[in-house]
């Protein structure tokens, strides 16, 4: 009974935690006593490799990572696009704490991993993948779950499952060797994302800030993104990933954070600008979809430092003295010779 309870909880969490392309594991915590407030994210670990691709080191490469051919073995990170480039070869992907994936028939898949918490407060690893083409076979460790999207289908799998997923004529095909593997229709979303700030009038919707913003160097600013439907109504309980593009700053110690929209459809995270002027962007994406909002961010220098202010003030005083000296009817400023002493 307890086993089924954990399984249901885990599968439910997987469908909520579609956190693909994230570089860190994060937890979202709302303001105490304010369920409608923006969810603030805290990165709990920095990004790092999630596993490795084992390609054929003899002759031509059989795999590519983000378009680059792989020879022998190479580490992979969250969000990497793995491709089996040889038609009749197999490419093994070994994922720490998850298990093994085998790609064939020109498979292309984007991989990510994260952590989830069950009802007994234990932590489980979750594989999140998006299969674009070809076939993949997944072998999960007993403590790992999986969420895979393929051609409009969402596949969830329990710990220890062994199964295959392929795309045939635009449809997902699943072959289960063992374990609990379930398929459902991926939701048709038709959503949009906006970069917003709170409205001074709490009865009105957040203010749309457009697609560009400026932030002073080293300054921390809350970045808020709202998800709405086709009728401009907020969409709650939806996963959203924020990714920094360029060397413009960070979310704590991370370049990517993920969370779930609150009752107002908002996910928020504090962004700290870098120490030098730069240009880049922040992208908000609903995992598993092409729904994205890209905001151009310009990091600008702060106002002149104190030394410059003093120089400007000194120049202003000198100008005033010169003006007074030239006012008719006022005594001029005459040079006085140094005093002399007679022995």
pTM (predicted TM-score)? 0.47
What strand order describes the sheet that includes 292-300?
A: 212-216, 292-300, 278-285, 239-245, 256-260
For the four alpha carbons of 196, 201, 205 and 207, in that order, the dihedral sign comes to: negative
Superfamily assignment of 192-300 in CATH? Immunoglobulins (2.60.40.10)
DSSP states of 79-125: T-EEEE-STT-EEEEEETTTEEEEEEEEEEEEEEEEEEE-TTS-EEE
Nearest CA-CA partner of 178 in 158, 195, 162, 201 = 162
Write the CB contacts of 70 (distance below 8 Å, at least 6 apart in sequence).
53, 55, 61, 62, 63, 64
Q: Give the domain ranges of the chain.
A: 48-185, 192-300
Q: What is the pLDDT along the chain (343 residues), one digit of tens a residue?
A: 444 444 444 544 444 444 333 333 333 334 334 445 554 443 334 457 899 998 665 556 678 888 888 877 899 988 888 888 876 778 899 998 899 999 987 888 888 888 776 656 667 788 988 887 889 999 999 999 998 988 778 899 999 999 999 988 778 899 999 999 998 766 555 789 999 999 999 889 999 999 999 999 999 999 999 999 888 899 887 778 899 999 999 998 889 988 878 889 999 999 999 999 999 999 998 876 778 899 999 999 976 554 455 555 555 555 554 444 555 555 555 555 555 555 5
pLDDT recorded at residue 309 = 58
pLDDT recorded at residue 83 = 87
What torsion do the CA atoms of 314, 320, 321, 327 make, to the nearest 10 degrees?
Answer: 170
pLDDT recorded at residue 196 = 97
pLDDT recorded at residue 180 = 93
- Taking CA atoms, 61 is separated from 71, 91, 100, 332, in Å, by 6, 10, 20, 87
């Amino acid at each position: 009974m307890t086993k089924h309870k954990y399984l249901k909880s885990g599968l439910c969490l997987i469908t909520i935690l579609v956190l693909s392309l994230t570089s860190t594991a994060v937890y979202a915590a709302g303001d105490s006593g304010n369920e409608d407030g923006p969810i603030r994210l805290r990165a709990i670990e920095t990004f790092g490799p999630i596993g490795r691709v084992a390609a054929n080191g003899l002759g031509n490469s059989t795999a590519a990572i983000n378009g680059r051919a792989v020879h022998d073995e190479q580490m992979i990170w969250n969000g990497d696009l793995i491709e089996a480039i040889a038609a009749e070869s197999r490419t093994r992907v070994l994922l720490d704490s998850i298990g093994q994936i085998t790609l064939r028939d020109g498979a292309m898949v984007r991989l990510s991993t994260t952590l989830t918490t069950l009802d007994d407060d234990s932590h489980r690893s979750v594989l999140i993948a998006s299969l674009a083409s070809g076939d993949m076979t997944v072998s999960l460790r007993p403590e790992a779950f999986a969420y895979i999207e393929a051609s409009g289908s969402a596949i969830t799998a329990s710990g220890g499952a062994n199964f295959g997923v392929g795309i045939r004529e635009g449809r997902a095909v699943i072959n289960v060797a063992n374990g609990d593997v379930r398929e459902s229709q991926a939701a048709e979303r038709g959503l949009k994302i906006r970069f917003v700030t709170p409205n001074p009038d709490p009865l009105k919707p957040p203010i749309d800030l457009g697609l560009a913003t400026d932030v002073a160097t080293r300054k921390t600013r809350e970045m808020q993104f709202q998800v709405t439907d086709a009728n401009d109504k907020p969409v709650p309980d939806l996963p959203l990933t924020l990714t920094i593009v360029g060397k413009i700053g960070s979310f704590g110690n991370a370049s990517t954070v993920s969370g779930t929209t609150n009752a107002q459809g908002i996910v928020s995270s504090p962004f700290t600008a870098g120490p030098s002027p730069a240009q880049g962007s922040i992208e908000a994406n609903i995992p598993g979809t092409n729904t994205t909002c890209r905001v151009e961010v310009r990091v600008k220098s702060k106002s002149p430092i104190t030394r410059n202010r003093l120089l400007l003030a000194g120049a202003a005083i000198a100008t005033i003295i010169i003006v007074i000296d030239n006012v008719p009817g006022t005594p001029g400023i005459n040079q006085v010779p140094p005093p002399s002493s007679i022995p």
